[in-house]
Amino acid sequence: MAPSGSRSIKRGCQRVLYWIPVLFIALIVAWSYYAYVLQLCIESIEDTGEKVVYLLVYHVVFIMFVWAYWQTIFTKPMNPLKEFHLSHSDKELLEREDRGESQQEILRRIAKDLPIYTRTNSGAIRFCDRCQLLKPDRCHHCSVCDKCILKMDHHCPWVNNCVGFANYKFFMLFLLYSLLYCLFITATDLQYFIKFWTAGGRAHFRLKEYLNGLPDTQAKFHILFLFFSASMFSVSLASLFIYHCWLVCKNRSTLEAVRSPVFRHGTDKNGFSLGFSKNFRQVFGDEVKYWPIPVFSSLGDGCSFPTCLVNLDPEQPSSPTGSNPTNKSAAEGRQFPSKPLRESQSRLLTSTPSWSENETATDKDRKGASNPGMTIENEA
């Protein structure tokens, strides 16, 4: 009992420590609200029109920022479906095999019925020993959460959560609105910061001369520190937001940017890229009205993803893009995704015929029209 009790105490202490970064951000945001609304807008700004406009815009950005942050923190990461977990008989069979090649044969047999196209660097089936499951494409095991996370991007200590398929859109909106929040504060606070800078003198920055510019010393401190904090956070948030925008455009996760996914034919960093439009809609969805709102609208189920690859794994029953008509019946028999997709979601999972394919189809139609006898013979 003692080791078990000590482990539970250790896990409890770790859970408390993991919330410290989130608490720090919450305190900073709460203080910024007090400093901006009360000390700057209400106490320092004398023009009523300017005060009202600042407060209205500020609260819109503030609400969206807090909403997106809340969704990023408390949205539970999605885990692989039960079809990817080993059955009891498969577990026993795998445990009886000592050789790695024999175990891989068992895993390959199980993977034939699953939409799995990525491999390890050595070409083996991606298997998680701790979760006892075959990892879906883009799925990784998080050592902090101790779970396999669908389309895992990274574990973020500032939200105390794994950023993955379930909350990546929320994370992107959190970065966007937090950046807008800091930029808005910096822009509107700038003129009062300049007042302090010029009133104090370029050499000595005398505070006494600034007493005529702002009502009290407390407001001066908050306005000065607010400007510095918002401007510094703006720089870091801008760099992080631009980086993740680049990842969205390329349809990569942070882990895939560090280590490119491996397919049967080899490594391909652009294996999941479908072009800017489809890459963007895979994260934000088809409906434009939901793009700026922190509600889930991403496409797919997180367990299977369309690829742009030409030479796909021949061992798999069907292509993830579903473009091959001979494999259509096999694709219809699959259980993925587990829930029916909306028509808008299904369009992303259906590859668009290329220009050359369209041209070939057009040529065939023209030939058939010019020689109807040949067409009837071929159909027969």
Residues with catalytic roles: 156
Question: Please, are residues 304 and 337 in contact by the beta-carbon 8 Å criterion?
Answer: yes
Candidates 132, 156, 126; CA nearest to 144 is: 156
- Dmax (CA) for the chain in angstroms is 100
Reduce the DSSP state of residue 153 to 3 states and report it: coil
Which DSSP string corresponds to 74-104? HSPPP---GGGBPPHHHHHHHHH--SHHHHH
Residue carrying the six token digits 């999941």 = 272
Reduce the DSSP state of residue 267 to 3 states and report it: strand
Q: Which two tokens stand for residue 232?
A: 């510094």
The full length of the chain comes to 380
Measured between alpha carbons, how far is 181 from 168 in angstroms, rounded to an integer? Answer: 20
Which DSSP string corresponds to 239-255? HHHHHHHHHHHHT--HH
The beta-carbon contacts of 215-224 under 8 Å, at least 24 apart in sequence, are 215/43, 215/44, 216/43, 218/39, 219/39, 219/40, 219/43, 219/44, 220/196, 222/34, 222/35, 222/39, 222/40, 223/35, 223/39, 223/40, 223/44, 223/189, 223/192, 223/193, 223/196, 224/193, 224/196
- Residue 374, Cα to own-chain centre: how many angstroms? 53
Cα–Cα distances in angstroms (integers) from residue 74 to residues 22, 60, 157, 170, 218, in the given order: 12, 21, 13, 10, 36
| Alpha helices by DSSP H, 209-275 | 217-250, 254-258
